[in-house]
Amino acid sequence: MKRFLLWKNGIISLDLGSFEIKVVQGSRRRDDIKINKAFSFDTPKDAYLNGYIRNGHALIDAIKDALNFNKIKSGVCCLSIKSTAIITREIAFPVLGSKEIDGLLKYQLPEYLPMDYSKYIIQHKIIDKFKDADKEKLNVLVVAIPKDMVDMHYDLVKGLGLKPSVLDYQPNSVWKFFKFINTANECIETSQKTIAAIDLGSDSTNITIINKGVIQTTRTIDMGGITLDNDAKSLMALTNDELPPLLSDIKDVSLVDDGFSDYNRYVYVIKAIIESIITKIDRIFKFYLSKDINNEIEQLILYGGLSNIKGMDKLFFNYFGIPAIVLNSVDRISINSDLNKYINCIGTLMRDDEV
């Protein structure tokens, strides 16, 4: 998809999820971004799962209705996707130009990605330079996205009557978001730290590690809010309607008091399920830290649906011993809605050369 050149009049950005669809319309001012509209609505049942469109007609109808209700009739559209079917690798290359890396990837890719890569669209981003045995090399992030996944999202945008502009890999959108801002929650200087941005989404959890504005690694875990819902309902014999109020009533998920009350039992179960997600995140952290003795993670930034459970930041801090916050405000971006909810949408609006 072609990149848009200007978006002073507002660009539509979609973030599709199996549970919820988020939409923002934003415009660029001098040194900041103004989000003019931000709204969300439920995804039609079984219409979208793990980055794949399962019911295009239902999805188009639902999005069209929401756009019309919010008085968005037409325009340029960009969207981001994440899926456990998208493969990422960090690969070392000699110091080469971008076109030369593309050519080399065609020959070396089977060594790193054992798959039929003719069915994938391959993109790369140079992360940084490093020395290996006194030879300078490039650390390159390679992303392989299934072609059918790209095609179905392109057809979706066309079916909405919008102009397809950018299809972005969600961790890249997150990187652009955090590279654009300087501070989070009015006190965390994200541009000066190595942060792990953790998207606690509905169908998966995405981890993006960024070192002083430079993306380092990204991974997607196939566990998220849906995992918590299914496991909690099964273990506690709850209905779909009974679980949300219980999650809202939790005072601090990091604490389980003594005693055998129903409340303590619920908190214990929810805490244990979240910790099963955290243990998978821990493996990704250990992999990143083991790659270089100088690697570190100084700040955890949590966002996405599960981050709204009270005490989630304390739970992460207690497990990792790393300062953790739930993102609720940043500089350089003006939005009247819940920022935490729309990070992926906002990041997708940005071009690499704007950050």
The residue with tokens 């935490």 is 340
Give pLDDT, residue 127: 84
pTM: 0.90
How does pLDDT run across 196-230, given as a tens digit for each residue?
999 998 888 999 999 998 899 899 898 988 889 89
Q: Note the maximum CA span of the chain.
A: 64
Domain boundaries, the chain: 87-146, 183-331
Give the DSSP letter of residue 216: E
- The mean pLDDT values, 10 residues at a time, for the chain of 355 residues are 47 92 87 91 94 96 96 89 87 85 79 79 86 84 92 96 91 93 93 94 91 90 89 86 89 87 89 95 96 93 95 97 97 93 92 58
Cα–Cα distances in angstroms (integers) from residue 189 to residues 184, 285, 295, 327, 330, in the given order: 7, 21, 18, 13, 10
What does the alpha-carbon distance between residue 275 and residue 315 come to, in Å, rounded to a whole number?
A: 8
What does the alpha-carbon distance between residue 1 and residue 264 come to, in Å, rounded to a whole number?
A: 51
The residue with tokens 């990792």 is 320
Between strands 52-53 and 76-81, the pairing is unpaired
Helical segments of the chain, H only = 56-69, 98-112, 147-159, 170-180, 225-236, 243-249, 262-291, 312-320, 343-349
Helix (H) or strand (E) holding 70: none
Cβ atoms 40, 47 nearer than 8 A: no
Give pLDDT, residue 352: 64
What does the alpha-carbon distance between residue 256 and residue 262 come to, in Å, rounded to a whole number?
A: 11
The CATH code of domain 183-331 reads 3.30.420.40
Do 87-146 and 183-331 show the same overall fold?
no
Give the DSSP letter of residue 43: P
Instruction: Centre a 10 Å sphere on the Cβ of residue 96 and count the other Cβ atoms it contains.
Output: 15
Give pLDDT, residue 4: 37
Cβ atoms 215, 125 nearer than 8 A: yes
Token pair listed for 56: 């295009």
- Region of 291 please: left (phi>0), alpha (psi -120 to 50) or beta: alpha
What does the alpha-carbon distance between residue 53 and residue 93 come to, in Å, rounded to a whole number?
A: 35
What does the alpha-carbon distance between residue 345 and residue 164 come to, in Å, rounded to a whole number?
A: 15
65 CB-contact burial (10 Å; exposed 0-12 / middle 13-18 / buried 19+): exposed
Give pLDDT, residue 103: 81
Give pLDDT, residue 238: 83
Cα–Cα distances in angstroms (integers) from residue 63 to residues 152, 281, 336, in the given order: 15, 33, 21
How does pLDDT run across 334-353, given as a tens digit for each residue?
999 999 999 999 999 887 65
Query: In whole angstroms, what separates CA 163 from the centre of its chain?
Result: 23
87-146: CATH topology is Dna Ligase; domain 1 (3.30.1490)
Long-range contacts of the stretch 220-223 (C-beta < 8 A, 24+)? 220/82, 220/83, 220/84, 220/86, 220/171, 221/84, 221/277, 221/280, 221/281, 221/284, 222/50, 222/84, 223/276, 223/277, 223/280
What does the alpha-carbon distance between residue 296 and residue 289 come to, in Å, rounded to a whole number?
A: 6
